[in-house]
Every structure is written in structure tokens, then in C-alpha cells.
A and B are shown apart, each in its own frame.
Chain A
Amino acid sequence: MEEPQALDADLVSQARAGDGDARNELVRRYRTPAFRFALQLTGHREDALDVTQDSMLRFLDTLDLFDGDRPIQPWLFRIVRNKAYDLGRRQKVRRAESLEDLLERGMPPPVQAMPHPVERLELNELRREVWKALNMLNETQREILVLREYQDLSYGEISEVLGVPTGTVMSRLHRARHALRDLLSGEESN
């Protein structure tokens, strides 16, 4: 069986050579993770779609600068992050949607098995609270939490996306987790 990473590298070199199918395949493969990351940064579905489209175009335009032997996701996420911040600067006011509104649209997520309805309700409530609190944090804290908690990137990959040493990733992430926890405990006590 072929390694997915090797296939990505092949696609990148074919796309560089002007192969339209390879470009389309790269877009199809990475647009959903890019969209989810954009959505987690912007908190708004239409903004995330715009950011994703811009990012995919930018990604294809800069393929010549990309080291094809490295994983695509950190490189692409770096582009998404820059595009999301460009949009944020233009908009000035952040317009994040609630988790309920976001879940109402698009492809429904798969139903996850949960042992007990009460547990499911508690987890759903916590998800909503975490999403709300996340959108109240500053950009630096939000992005690092999104990369680790939602995107499950390793410290090495996060350091590549953010352009900071891994030691900084750990301390910054810990401060962000503290801030998120403080917001959540504030909500619970209200």
C-alpha cells in the first residue's frame, strides 16, 4: 500500500508541472481540513469559506516555494492563518457564530456512540461552552488552542505553523489553556 505522504509529494510535483488533475486532487484532499481550521479561527461559516478559497488559490500559486517532501498541512495552515488574519483586520469586528448555528448547516457530522444520554448532554453542553469561550480569547491564545485541541497537531507541527520554537509552543499553550479554563469557570459560576 502506498504511503499517503508519498502520494502527496507526487501530486505536488505533478501540480508543479502543470497537471490540472493533480491540482484538483490536492484541493479536494485539503479543502475540508483547511475549511475547519478557518472556521475555528474566524468562528463564521461564510468567512471560513472565503478564507479557504483564498488559501487554496494561494497554496497552488506558491507550490514552487513549497518543499514537496514535507507535510502539506502545516504549510497550508500557515496560509490559512495569514488569510484569516487579513480578513479579521479588514472586518475589524469579529463575527463569531454559535456552535448550534454552525451545526445546523453543511454536512452533518457522524453520530458518535455515547454510553449514556446524560453524559452526551453534558458533553454537548461543554462543547458549546468551550466554543463560546474560545471565541472570547485573543488571537494568539485561540490559534494555539485550535491547532492543538481541535486540529490535534503535534508541538513540532504547531511550531512550524506559528514559526516559534517548540518550547514556546508549550508555554503559550499552557497559558491559553489557563485562560480558557478561567473563562469556563467564570461561566459555570454565573
Chain B
Amino acid sequence: MSRHYDTGFDEALLSGYLDGELTQADRQRVRLHLEDDAAARELVDEMRRIREAARSTDLPAPLDEEWDESPRTAGSRWFRRSGWILVVGWAVVLVGLATWGLFAGPDSWWQKLLAGALVGGPVLLFLSVLTDRMQVMKHDRYRRVEK
């Protein structure tokens, strides 16, 4: 919490001083206060240190491709979202129907097992490769470097 002084000194002025936002009279007032108050000097030094750390934190911006791939208008955004919902819904229904058709059909259990393995094997292999690729994409710092 901010400190309150008997002298009526407003501690928030220390922030204004640090940011160079005070009038000349207030600046002078803060300077005089800092000469007498070691705790206030320490506070200003700490706030300055934190500010320098924050200011030098250069957060990465999206790559140009990421911006280019993103929808430009509210309309295209709506179409893209709706398109994804339809594609995912369609895939879920299709897989559900295929699974139901396979297991509810007249084939014997070993034929179902063979058919399931025939489709399931490649799907599992694909998922394995996809998982690895996604992991690499997430952690490879140099993925954008031209090979």
C-alpha cells in the first residue's frame, strides 16, 4: 500500500517523478523528499528496475503469414468459422456412420476385426505422425529458418 506522510507528501508523486510527468514545482518537491527519505529512494529504484525489465520484454509478434491467413472482414470470419463447424460435424457423422455400419453389419466378428484393423491401423499411424509434427511445430524455434 502507498504510504501516507504527516508532511502531506503524496507518495503517488514518486510515480509521476519516475515517469517525468510532474510540473517543475512538484519535481523539486519530490527531490527534496527523496533527499530525506531512504525508503522512498529505494522504492523509486525498485520501480525503475521493474519498469526497465518490463520495457525490455519484447514479445514476439505474429508472422506475416499468420496475419495473411487470418480473415480480413467480419463476413469472411463468419464464413470461416461456419465452414470449420460444418467440416468437423461432417467428419464426426461420417466416422460414426462408418463405425456403426461396420459393427452392425452381417459380417462375422473376425471380418469386422480385420476391417477395423485395416482402417484403424493407418488412422493410428497418421495420428502418431500428426502428434509428433504438432509437437515439433510448437517447440522448434528454428522452424521459420530457410533450409
| Residues of chain A at the chain B interface (Cβ within 8 Å) | 27, 31-32, 35-36, 39-40, 49, 53, 57, 61, 99, 102-110, 112, 123, 126-127, 130-131, 134, 145, 148-150, 152, 154-155, 166, 170-171, 173-175, 177-178, 180-181, 184
Contact = CB atoms under 8 A, between A and B. Distances in A.
Interface string B5-37: 000001111111001010000000000000000
Interface residues of B, number: 40
By secondary structure, the A interface counts as helix
Contact of A149 (B2, B14, B16, B55): B55
Contacts of B73: 57
A123 B2 contact: no
Nearest to A133: B50
A135 to B, nearest CB: 13
A106 B62 contact: yes
B4 interface: no
Contacts of B62: 32, 35, 49, 106-107
Interface in B56-113: 56-63, 66-67, 70-74, 77
Contacts of A130: 50, 53-54, 57
B15 A174 contact: yes
B97 to A, nearest CB: 32
Given A49-B66, A145-B54, A177-B15, A170 B60 contact: no
